[in-house]
Amino acid sequence: MQKTGGQLVMLVAINGLLLVLGAIISGGTFLSLFNLQSMASQLPEIGLLAIGVMLAMCAGNGGIDLSGIALANLSGVLSAVIVSSFLSVSESETVFSLAFIFAAVSIGCAGGVINGLLISKLNITPILCTLGTQMAFMGLAVVVSGGKAVMVGSPALLSSIGNDMFLAVPISFLIFIIAAGLIAAALKFTPYGLWLMLMGTNPKAAVYAGFPRTGVLVATYAISGTLSGLAGVIIAARNVNVKFDYGSSYLLIAILIVVMAGVKPEGGYGRVVCVVLSAVALQLMSSLLNFGGLSNFVRDFAWGLLLLAFLAVGRYDLTGFLFPARGQPIPSVPIPHAPKQDN
Amino acid sequence: MSTSRIDELSESASAGRSFSLGELVRRRPETITFMLLVAICVIVAIINPAFLQPSTLIDIGRASVVMGLFALGVFIILAAGGIDVSFTAIAAFTMYSLTVLVLNHFPGMPMAVIMLVAIGGGALLGIINGLLVHHLNVPSLIVTIGTQYLFRGFLLSFIGTVWIMSLPPQMGAFGRMPLFQFESANGAIVTLPVYFLFLPLAAFVTWWILNRTLMGRAIFAVGGNANIASRLGYSLRTVHIFLFGYAGALAGLAGIIHVCANRQANPFDLVGTEINVIAAVVLGGARITGGTGTVLGTILGVLLIVVINSVLVMVGIPSTWQRLVVGSFILLAAAFFVTRQRKK
């Protein structure tokens, strides 16, 4: 268990370091309220998707959710098309916003349930299933929007989600933190969390122990889908328009965040707080690169490099090497590792 | 020997005379791909007879070269239980940097050398993949997503983003060189270019490696169960390096053919098509968990995707439906193969 604490300490340290570095490079403007707020409002979309990927990964057995951003775009596009077909923005802005949010989140949830059912009932490998649904979701978004951007407009409630502050904190960021908190609590205090992690550790044993495999898998992908729907709402709120190919690099970034957070790709371990912190770290780095005036392509390059570097950290346990202060009380007791059977 | 092979043998021994269609489909999943392909072609030909013109068929053949080369690389990795999404980035990297290199430094480089350099460069990048997958010991999907961004980011930020419209003359000439050509009914000259030959050639080499060499045995064994394969004495490291190196080499070749065929080098090309390629391989009957699949199935899968992509418009379905159709095909095929495998 020391290792999990190590990951948290390392992420906090990285965040602190990045803040200091940013302050030094920019001469203080990096830490200005405005910059912090703008960073916080950019974070939620990708953070929500990353939590979804984390849950799918924790389920083990090669679990991963590649359909996140496609589903987020689909829920934005489809919801905008459906809602604006029988409500107009000018009539009642609040009703429109509420209907839009409700429709988007339900579409996200429905998409997630589809993923979960395909994976648990039909036994399709998660990679293949979510690859297929990614394409299908994106395709559906193209079909309903005709390949064009769909105008959502900025009705009062929606635009305040996208742009306003509550106590100087962007509302979208608050939504993200609340969602993350709820999921963290669900993982920690409900049987679902225990089932999920144990199933990820050893799927076969979980079945013999009588865990509701189908229920857990469907719930996992449904939560992931709901988070995508929520991300879709925030994307729509921030951008006024929704389009099927928004955020094409989000898939990699979500996986990068999750790997950086120390979630095990083979399943069974992951902490929401680490995912949140690593999302924050990534946002800080991204803004720093922006401050440095580097192009998007350099950023892609850096993300790829970073992903591989963190995989190496996870593999060779550099955390323990970098933070020996945390000590290992009984180093001689080996932590039993389940043999990795499936890569 | 992979578990599936053993299944297959014992099945065929016990099945005896009771031959049925279901049995055939389960043992040779690519039959279903073939039937689907024929069905689609027949339907399209009925709706729009223009489909049967030789020019359409040659277009399909031409369009399947690059995708087919990619698919063979993905297939061989899939057979060993891995997955690769970085091959398009490798292809884009090799083709663009090589074009720049030839254009600026070695304008006289003969075409054969260019090809060899492309294959070598692709293989080198592939080997990086292989080493990372082996040593980091994480799912190859995650590693190759990382290298995809690494290669592409490197290409776009350090090598260039300029669209090269005028290729070195020898590359342009290679892209136009005809294998045979004839005049179609409406007077246009239809050409099957020489580079088409690379697809059957690569397919044959892949088939030979998988079915006639020890490496092929090792690949299917690792795909069946990597732990057991390594206890049997197969070196996982060698297998991983070979796999990804081979896939990288095919990607490099595909990249340079793509440039010659389109007569322009666009560094933003190719990346983004990897899902189509993986879809083709899966539709060809290769299981994504490894250990199964055939080269013939892969080629059929590629033809299926290329045909779907090109006939939607011919039968009057708007091209916006293409993704949805292919995505549904992936899910249907996956569900179909899984349920077939369970019925024992």
Q: Is the pLDDT of residue A3 over 70?
A: no
Chain B residues with CB-CB distance to A343 below 8 A? 81-82, 137-140, 226
Max Cα distance, chain A (Å): 70
Residue B94: the pLDDT is: 92
Which residue among A118, A131, A255 places its CB closest to the CB of B142?
A255
| CB pair distance less than 8 Å for B82 and A138 | no
Residues of chain A numbered 14-73 and touching chain B (CB < 8 Å): 62, 64
The whole-number pLDDT of residue B92 equals 92
Is residue B58 one of the residues assigned to a domain?
no
Q: Which residues of A touch B153 (CB under 8 A)?
A: 297-304
Write out the residue range of the structural domain in which residue B83 sits. 63-269+287-293
The shortest CB-CB distance from A305 to any of B148, B150, B325 is to B150
Structure confidence by residue, pLDDT tens digits, B97-108: 998 888 888 887
pLDDT at B126: 94
CB contact under 8 A, B326 and A139: yes
Structure tokens at B180: 């045979």
Whether the CB-CB separation of B222 and B210 falls below 8 Å is answered with no
Distance from C-alpha of B331 to C-alpha of A131, rounded to nearest angstrom: 9
Does the beta-carbon distance from B145 to A255 stay under 8 Å? yes
pLDDT at A145: 82
Name the residue of chain A whose CA is nearest to B279's CA: A132
pLDDT level of residue B21 (50, 70, 90 thresholds): low
The string of DSSP codes covering B231-242 is HTT--HHHHHHH
Contact A139 B151 (CB under 8 A): no
- Which helix (DSSP H) or strand (DSSP E) does residue A161 occupy? helix A156-163
Residue of B147, B158, B325 lying closest to A304 (CB–CB): B147
Greater model confidence, B221 or A146: B221
Q: Find the closest chain B residue to A74 by CA distance.
A: B324
For tokens 């499936």, name the residue. Answer: A342
Structure tokens at A60: 């083990």
Q: What is the CATH number of domain A2-326?
A: 1.10.3470
**What are A201-233's pLDDT values in tens digits?**
887 888 888 788 888 888 889 999 999 998 988
Contact A136 B279 (CB under 8 A): no
A27: left (phi over 0), alpha (psi -120 to 50) or beta: left
pLDDT digits (tens, 9 = 90+) for A26-69: 777 777 777 778 778 888 888 898 998 888 888 877 778 888 88
Distance separating alpha carbons of residues B295 and B297, to the nearest angstrom: 5
pLDDT single digits (tens) A96-141: 788 888 888 899 999 999 888 888 888 787 888 888 888 888 888 8
Is B279 within a domain? Answer: no
Cross-chain residue pair B331–A132, CB shorter than 8 Å: yes
Mean pLDDT within B222-226: 85
Q: What does the alpha-carbon distance between residue A115 and residue A291 come to, in Å, rounded to a whole number?
A: 39
In a domain, B189, yes or no: yes
Q: Which residues of A touch B289 (CB under 8 A)?
A: 62, 125, 342
Residue B2: the pLDDT is 46
What residue of B is the nearest CA neighbor of A263?
Answer: B138
Residue A330 confidence (pLDDT): 40
In a domain, B204, yes or no: yes
Q: How far is CA B280 from the centre of its chain?
A: 8
pLDDT at B20: 66
Residue B30 placed within a domain: no
Residue A288: per-residue pLDDT? 81
Min Cα separation A51/chain B (Å): 16
- Is the model's pLDDT at B239 over the cut of 80? yes
Q: Do B153 and A302 touch (CB under 8 A)?
A: yes
Q: Which alpha helices (DSSP H) does B105-235 contain, by range? A: 111-136, 140-154, 169-176, 198-212, 214-224, 226-231
What's the total number of domains in chain B?
1
Which candidate from B149, B158, B320 shows the least CB-CB separation from A143?
A: B320
Average confidence (pLDDT) over B231-250? 90
Domain map of chain A by residue range? 2-326
Closest residue of chain B to A134, computed from CA coordinates:
B327
The pLDDT > 90 percentage for chain B reads 19
Residue A295 is which amino acid? S
Contact flag A124-B334 (C-beta cutoff 8 Å): yes
Whole-number pLDDT of residue A257: 86
Residue B326 lies in a domain: no
Mean pLDDT of the region B28-42: 83
Residue at B320 is within a domain: no
Asked if the model's pLDDT at residue B254 lies above 80, the reply is yes
Q: Answer whether residue A337 shows pLDDT above 60.
A: no
Q: Tokens standing for B332? A: 């249907």
pLDDT (tens digit per residue) in A284-319: 888 888 777 777 788 888 888 888 887 787 777 655
Q: Are B340 and B73 in contact (CB under 8 A)?
A: no
Helical packing angle, B140-154 and A296-316, nearest 10°: 150
Q: What is the mean predicted confidence (pLDDT) over A242-271?
A: 80
Residue B13 has pLDDT above 60, yes or no: no
Per-residue pLDDT tens over the stretch A134-164: 888 888 888 888 777 777 777 777 777 777 7
pLDDT confidence bin for B187, thresholds 50/70/90: low
